[in-house]
Amino acid sequence: MKSISKELKEMSIFDLKWIYSHVYFKSTKSTSKSNIIKLLLQPFNRKYKMETLLPKDLLQHVGSFIEKDYVNGYFIGPNAELAGANLTGADLTGANLTGANLTRANLTGANLSGADLSGADLSGADLYYSNLKNANLVGVNLYYSNLKNANLVGVNLTDANLPLANLTRANLTGAKLINVYFEDADLTGANLTKADLTKADLTDADLKNAILTTADLSRADLSRADLTGATLNYAYFEKANLKNANLSTNLKDSFLLGVNLQGANLQDAHLQGAILTNAKYNTETIIDIIGIHTIPTKFPDNFDPESNRMIINNI
């Protein structure tokens, strides 16, 4: 007879995971964990010539394996298939879900702090009030996802895809959002204090009442974005595209060196201390090759673009 420790080492981890999933979904709510484990191991009694009644220590070992890699009956790990999974309120702290398929998954209130979701597909996922603090979300697909009121403090979303995502009142303080695709995303009331949005695409994004104090938006595309009521004190916009954007907001002490303000609305903006050197604006309506009209840039009453070293560009 082989020793139990040797038998355990020879078990196929793949088989163990598959059998557990099978047992979990066929068991009833009244089935105890120990009975599930025993049922799980029955096929291995024959395959590995193990005793029918397994020692307590082996059951505990398998139990710890289950608790570690399964949540709500779903296998949690790299490349996991979790499309449509119900993980409401699940504790996934520090989980490795790289490349996982979480499309349309329900993660409402889930704790994903410190988790690695790089390359995962979360399109259409519900992450309402979820905790993603310091999570790795590099290259994730969050198309049309719900991140309303989510905790995204310190996350790394570099190269992530978030078009049409709902980030209303989400907390993105200190988040790394380099080259993120936010087209048509709803960031109403979101907190982006100290966030790095270098080269981010925020075309047509809704940023009303968002907080962008000291955020870095250098070379970001905010064309047609709505920043009405947003807080932009000390925000850094060097060479950003703000064409046709609504900037009726507080831009006090912001850095707007070389930005494109053609067609932008700054009529009610607060520009005290803002640096606008080499920023482009237009005084005539511009019609592009596909017939889109860009009306003249609107400034506050008594504001003088020339004294702020801005450049007229009517092309």
**132 and 155 in contact (C-beta within 8 Å)?**
yes
| 23-to-11, 16, 229, 252 alpha-carbon distances in Å | 17, 10, 55, 62
pLDDT of residue 287: 82
- What residue type is assigned to position 215 of the chain? A
Considering only 27-31, 69-73, 159-163, 179-183, which range has the smallest mean pLDDT? Answer: 27-31
- pLDDT number for residue 179: 98
Contact by Cβ (8 Å): 260, 220: no
Rounded distance between C-alpha atoms, residue 113 and residue 135, angstroms: 6
Confidence of residue 82 (pLDDT cuts 50, 70, 90): very high
Please say if the pLDDT value at position 276 is more than 80: yes
Whole-Å CA distances, 47 to 52, 144, 193, 252, 314: 12, 47, 58, 73, 79
Which residue has better confidence, 293 or 154?
154
Residue 298 has pLDDT above 60, yes or no: yes
The reported pLDDT for the residue numbered 38 is: 59
Neighbours of 106 (CB within 10 A): 19
Question: Cα–chain-centroid distance for residue 121?
Answer: 11
Q: Is the pLDDT of residue 155 over 50?
A: yes
pLDDT of residue 23: 46
Beta bridge partner(s), residue 216: 196, 236
Of residues 16 and 288, more confidence is placed in 288
110 Rama sector, left if φ>0, alpha if ψ -120 to 50, beta otherwise: beta
Provide the whole-model pTM.
Answer: 0.80
**Could you give the percent of the chain with pLDDT greater than 90?**
71
Contact 185, 204 (CB under 8 A): no
Tell me what pLDDT residue 196 has. 98
Round to whole Å and give the CA distance between 164 and 146: 9
Is it the case that residue 36 has pLDDT exceeding 70? Answer: no
At 132-150, the pLDDT tens digits run 999 999 999 999 999 999 9
Average pLDDT of the chain, as a whole number: 85
Check residue 71 and give its pLDDT.
84
Over residues 48-76, the mean pLDDT reads: 58
User: What share of the chain has pLDDT > 70, as a percent?
Assistant: 78
Average pLDDT of the residues in 104-124: 98
- State residue 315's pLDDT score: 87
Residue 185 Rama label (left phi>0; alpha psi -120 to 50; beta): beta
- What long-range pairs does 172-178 form, CB within 8 A, spacing at least 24? none
Q: Which of 67-76, 91-100, 242-251 has the lowest mean pLDDT?
A: 67-76
pLDDT reading at 110 higher than 50: yes
pLDDT of 24: 45
Closest CA to 222 of 255, 254, 262, 253: 262
The larger pLDDT score, comparing residue 32 to residue 293, is at 293
